[in-house]
Structure 1
């Protein structure tokens, strides 16, 4: 069971589900929300991300064997699952998540879920990642779909607030993964993936991390004006954003790999806490 959970990349899928849940709570205003339906949709969003990640690991199983980081952490290179089991899990997860999103959330939510799986599993994994150093930028579209799916599931449409949430995650993704790419540069080099540090160098990558961070912080604060809530989210976004920008500034001015790992780890905390503040704001305002 643990090996199947590892296939979903649980941390990433959990973040994906949290962003979708935040959009659901915001758009439903905590009113007339059937708890069973609500949690089934949240699970379906998690499973959407999990299925996409499982396909990713299935397609990259040979590459993962050659990379030190993934060879030790992923179930296929470790021999914990067979390729057939991984493929069956990926297909089953895709079918179940699509059915649940369609039945409980409607056709738009289901279509967005299917689009997320196809985009990440096939377009990003098989085409973008091996071909362009900006794979993370374009591929970030898939990881940012959680709020759009969540919003569509409770309203049947996409709101401006959900779109701003999408943009926040989209802008967060490159700094997050480029820090990792610098740390694992030799791994990516060994499998000929054209990650940005290998193509333009570490310092230019650090500069891009800083640039994206400068855009991310005001964009995150901007969401406050679309949610009609209290100042909880605004204050939280400013605090978290200041720490994020400080981390990006430190990364820009150092070659110490430990600093890049710290920024990578904090970026996960940042996104989780940011949407945590949003959920707290929605619940406080609705009380």
Structure 2
């Protein structure tokens, strides 16, 4: 039972789901408007969490042949045969997504539901099926998936969206590439052997590190923009502290573009995002 639950957690990428759900909570917190009832907040967060899980499971369903060629992913259940990748699993995945979107439309509004769907569609179809094995721009476009979670949270309060939340959505769009390019540098040989055109594989680790630093600086610059639209000192402190740490580790990666520095930068991206989102929620809660 414990092993099955662990496999299901990995299949639906629940850790990523929690991060995506936090993005939605931050988008909601950064949007001025009437406070949502607790049950509507719960439906929003559940819808985003389920849609993220459905997208993660579809990613593994669609990529089972690719996963079999990579050391990091060859133990995934669709690869090993522990879960049979047949029509039943596809129906389950699509059913979860349909339920999530319908719940958001029913409890919140059509725009919030549209953003819930769009995040899953971008990750599951645009990134996974269309771009991942075709172009080094794959994760750049794929970064929209996290952005849509922020917009879903904002639209739940006001379908017209908050300028501060839109700025945060841009931050998420800029955050995903340096986050994933760092991981791709750690796994350079794995991606190269599987013929996946991740940026470090195409341009080399050194050039990829410089591009990563540029994206990191850009996202930190954009992360302070919400202060112009009413976010307070707590948010600014979180944005600057997390941003400074991420930039520092990205500079270290440029100086030493290898797996060790790349792993540190990958972890720094989580620190930056966690501080930013938490500061956004706390800032509004005490403001």
Same fold (TM over 0.5): yes
| Equivalent residue in structure 2 for 1:13, among 4, 17, 24 | 17
| Equivalent residue in structure 1 for 2:281, among 268, 279, 282 | 279
Q: Give the C-alpha shift of residue 28 in structure 1.
A: 5.2
- In structure 1, the partner of 2:190 is 187
- In structure 2, the partner of 1:212 is 215
Q: Give the C-alpha shift of residue 33 in structure 1.
A: 2.0
Please give the root-mean-square deviation of Cα atoms over the aligned residues, in Å.
1.6
- In structure 2, the partner of 1:75 is 77
Consecutive unaligned residues of structure 2, counting only runs of 5 or more, are none
| Number of equivalent positions | 282
Post-superposition CA distance 1:181-220 (Å, at most 9, x none): 1111111122211111111111110010111111111111
- In structure 2, the partner of 1:39 is 42
- In structure 2, the partner of 1:2 is 6
Question: 1:39-118 counterparts in 2 under 5 A?
Answer: 39-72=42-75, 74-84=76-86, 85-118=88-121
Question: TM (normalized to structure 2)?
Answer: 0.93
Whether 1:146 aligns to 2:145 is no
State the distance in 2 between where 1:76 and 1:104 align: 34
Whether 1:258 aligns to 2:257 is no
State the distance in 2 between where 1:188 and 1:207 align: 20
- Would you say the 8 A contact 1:16–1:144 is kept in 2? no
State the distance in 2 between where 1:269 and 1:86 align: 34
- Would you say the 8 A contact 1:44–1:97 is kept in 2? yes
Q: Give the C-alpha shift of residue 105 in structure 1.
A: 1.6
Q: Give the C-alpha shift of residue 129 in structure 1.
A: 0.8
- In structure 1, the partner of 2:129 is 126
Question: TM (normalized to structure 1)?
Answer: 0.93
State the distance in 2 between where 1:265 and 1:144 align: 20
- Would you say the 8 A contact 1:214–1:245 is kept in 2? yes
Q: Give the C-alpha shift of residue 143 in structure 1.
A: 2.4
Post-superposition CA distance 1:131-187 (Å, at most 9, x none): 111111111112221110111122122221121011001111111000111111111
Q: Give the C-alpha shift of residue 37 in structure 1.
A: 1.4
- Would you say the 8 A contact 2:30–2:281 is kept in 1? yes
- Would you say the 8 A contact 2:35–2:157 is kept in 1? no
Consecutive unaligned residues of structure 1, counting only runs of 5 or more, are none
| Equivalent residue in structure 2 for 1:239, among 241, 260, 283 | 241
